[in-house]
């Protein structure tokens, strides 16, 4: 995902600057070309030599530093970037970017780039919560910047509060997610299940299996990195929740079935990597079963759990897993046919280094067309990408005449819809009238260009539509479809943000 990507890493003057070294190191190890730009203040906290040693690239600290290939032509760095990441982002750099000030190499690069920009604020809690900082962050969000919120914890002042830099692994996850927006699964909604369900015997005992959840989590993260909107429905595991993914925690097969039915209502694919228990106790004892009372033998009456994959309803791609101990291909083909799957990934659970509780897997992919692809032993992340290669090939390509918009807080508050700069060519010039067809009728509106990001605003007449949908919240998604270029469009609510 990060291999050969040019990541411009901006470091500003905060105590959290030392964590940027860890980030730079991990990005470089992942194959990225990391171009570090440090403000003068940042060099007071960490030396350029440290970053140069970690990235094997020259570090830019000034527009007037003649030894840098980027110093004279300051836009060259902006043009080379696949993504710009500022870690840590101080209140000062946030204010400068919000105001469009370009008085150093980093602010110049951000102002000149067309690449996505990610900033991770880190500062004193009072500075972060100050209304000026919050207003500046809101402006940047409105312009399409991705903000990685700081975390609560002990700050440099010794106080506890909101202002600690987000964890490096979280920042990397967000970087991957943002870079994936133009990948082959962009705009697709994929539901993934993971982990082994637990079927309660009593309040302290349950029936389960050896699934670690690693395969499902790998699929979910790989789909996220390829641009998909991912919902991960997971039984209990010891794995950390992946970044940028909607995670729904369940315990039993019945709970997983209910979650899958809800999540797949508007999905493009369901990838069922969970190891669902085949049986559950017919009844669960309310109190703990005492050995002294149960005696030497305990008899459990079991009943079948629901067949989640076979019973899932809807027009979406179905991918299943077949963990077999014998007759691998034959049993997998039978499962594919019985459950009307589009693809099945079969693995031999008796093979070493494959299956449960390991980081590798050896699978055989079998398609609905009967094609059998035997894959070598790979990491589970590599296996996930192989599965998604097939999924991407089976899904219909996205329409060139439609796109999605994520509602920002300022849009909901001020009743307008922001159009990303990438889609601006689908719309007429500024102040030219156009029509949006909605479920509350046709709305005549127009375009207002906004700021240096090059995006657009749809404003006129939309207050009526927003008032007809008081349920809309920041994070909800809209789809705009071009019906007649430069004149008529359709506006639809795609999916409401998941709220527990």
Shortest CA distance to 178 belongs to which of 83, 287, 256, 99?
Answer: 83
Q: For residue 25, is pLDDT > 80?
A: yes
Residue 17 near residue 11 (C-beta atoms within 8 A): yes
The per-residue pLDDT for 69 is 59
Interval 428-448: pLDDT, tens: 887 788 888 887 778 888 877
Q: Return the C-alpha torsion angle 298, 253, 347, 351, nearest 10.
A: -30
Quote the tokens at residue 225.
């990195």
Report pLDDT for 497.
Answer: 44
Q: How far apart are CA 287 and CA 290, in angstroms?
A: 9
67's torsion region: left (phi>0), alpha (psi -120 to 50) or beta?
Answer: alpha
Class of domain 184-394 (CATH, top level) = alpha beta
The residue behind tokens 């670690």 is 212
Write the class of the CATH domain 6-180: alpha beta
pLDDT attached to residue 498: 38
Q: What is the distance between the alpha carbons of residues 131 and 127, in angstroms, rounded to a whole number? A: 9
**Which stretch of 57-66, 115-124, 150-159, 364-373 has the lowest confidence by average pLDDT?**
57-66
- The catalytic position among 124, 209, 331, 414 is 209
Band (pLDDT 50/70/90 cuts) for residue 453 is very low
- Return the closest-CA partner of residue 399 out of 303, 490, 306: 490
Closest CA to 244 of 146, 151, 110, 119: 146
Question: Same CATH topology for 184-394 and 402-495?
Answer: no
Query: Once rounded to an integer, what is the mean pLDDT over residues 3-15?
Result: 94
What are the pLDDT digits (tens) for 218-242?
A: 999 999 999 888 999 999 999 999 9
Does residue 347 carry a catalytic annotation?
no
Left, alpha or beta for 415 (phi > 0: left; psi -120 to 50: alpha)?
left
Question: What does CATH list as the number for 402-495?
Answer: 2.40.330.10
Q: How far apart are the first and last CA of the chain?
A: 31
Give the C-alpha separation, 459 to 433, whole Å. 11
pLDDT reading at 275 higher than 90: yes
Residues 6+ apart with CB under 8 A from 58: 52, 67, 68, 69
Q: How confident is the model at residue 500 (pLDDT cuts 50, 70, 90)?
A: very low
- E strand or H helix at 328: helix 328-338
Please compute, for residue 491, the number of CA atoms within 13 A of its CA located in the half-sphere on the CB side: 25
- Examine the pLDDT at 398 and tell me if it is beyond 70: no
- Lowest mean per-residue pLDDT among 80-94, 158-172, 198-212, 344-358: 344-358
Q: Is the pLDDT of residue 499 over 50?
A: no
Predicted local confidence at residue 427, as pLDDT: 85
Domain boundaries, the chain: 6-180, 184-394, 402-495
Enter the pTM of the model: 0.76
Cis peptide before 179 (omega within 30 of 0): no
Q: Give me the numbers of helices (H) and strands (E) for the chain, helices first please.
A: 16, 28
- State the pLDDT confidence band at 302, using cuts at 50, 70 and 90: very high
């Amino acid at each position: 995902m990060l291999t050969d990507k040019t990541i411009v890493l901006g470091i500003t003057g905060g105590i959290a600057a030392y964590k940027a070294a860890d980030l730079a190191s991990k990005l470089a190890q992942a194959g990225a070309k990391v171009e570090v730009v440090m403000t003068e203040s940042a060099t007071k906290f960490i030396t350029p030599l440290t970053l140069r040693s970690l990235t094997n690239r020259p570090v830019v600290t000034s527009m007037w530093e003649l030894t840098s290939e980027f110093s004279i032509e300051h836009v060259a760095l902006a043009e080379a970037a696949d993504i710009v990441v500022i870690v840590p982002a101080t209140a000062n750099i946030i204010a400068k970017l919000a105001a469009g000030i370009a008085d150093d190499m980093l602010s110049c690069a951000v102002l000149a780039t067309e690449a996505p920009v990610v900033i991770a604020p880190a500062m004193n809690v009072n500075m972060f919560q100050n209304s000026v900082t919050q207003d500046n962050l809101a402006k940047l969000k409105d312009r399409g910047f991705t903000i990685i919120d700081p975390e609560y914890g002990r700050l440099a002042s010794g106080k506890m509060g909101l202002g600690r830099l987000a964890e490096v692994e979280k920042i990397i996850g967000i970087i991957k997610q943002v870079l994936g927006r133009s990948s082959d699964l962009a705009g697709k909604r994929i539901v993934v299940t993971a982990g082994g369900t637990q079927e309660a015997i009593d309040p302290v005992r349950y029936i389960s299996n050896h699934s670690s959840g690693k395969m499902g989590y790998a699929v979910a993260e790989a789909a996220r990195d390829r641009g998909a909107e991912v919902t991960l429905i997971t039984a209990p595991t010891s794995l950390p929740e992946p970044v940028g993914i909607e995670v729904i925690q369940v315990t039993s097969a019945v709970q997983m079935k209910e979650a899958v039915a809800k999540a797949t209502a508007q999905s493009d694919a369901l990838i069922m990597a969970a190891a669902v228990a085949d049986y559950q106790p017919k009844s669960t004892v309310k109190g703990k079963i005492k050995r002294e009372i149960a005696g030497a033998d305990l008899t459990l009456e079991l009943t079948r759990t629901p067949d989640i994959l076979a019973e899932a309803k809807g027009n979406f791609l179905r991918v299943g897993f077949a963990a077999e101990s014998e007759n691998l291909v034959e049993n997998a083909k039978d499962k594919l046919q019985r459950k009307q799957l589009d693809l099945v990934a079969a693995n031999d659970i008796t093979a070493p280094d494959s299956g449960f509780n390991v980081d590798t897997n050896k699978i055989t992919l079998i398609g609905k067309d009967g094609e059998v692809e035997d894959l070598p032993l790979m990491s589970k992340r590599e296996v996930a990408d192989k599965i998604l290669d097939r999924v991407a090939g089976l899904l219909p390509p996205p329409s060139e005449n439609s796109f999605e918009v994520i509602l920002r807080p300022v849009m909901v508050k001020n009743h307008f819809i922001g159009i990303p700069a990438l889609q601006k060519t689908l719309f007429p010039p500024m102040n030219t009238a156009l029509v949006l067809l909605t479920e509350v009728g046709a709305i005549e509106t127009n375009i207002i260009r906004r700021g240096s990001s090059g995006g657009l605003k749809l404003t006129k007449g939309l207050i009526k539509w927003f008032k007809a949908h008081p349920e809309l919240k920041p994070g909800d998604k809209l789809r705009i479809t071009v019906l007649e270029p430069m004149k008529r469009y359709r506006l639809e609510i795609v999916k409401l943000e998941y709220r527990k």
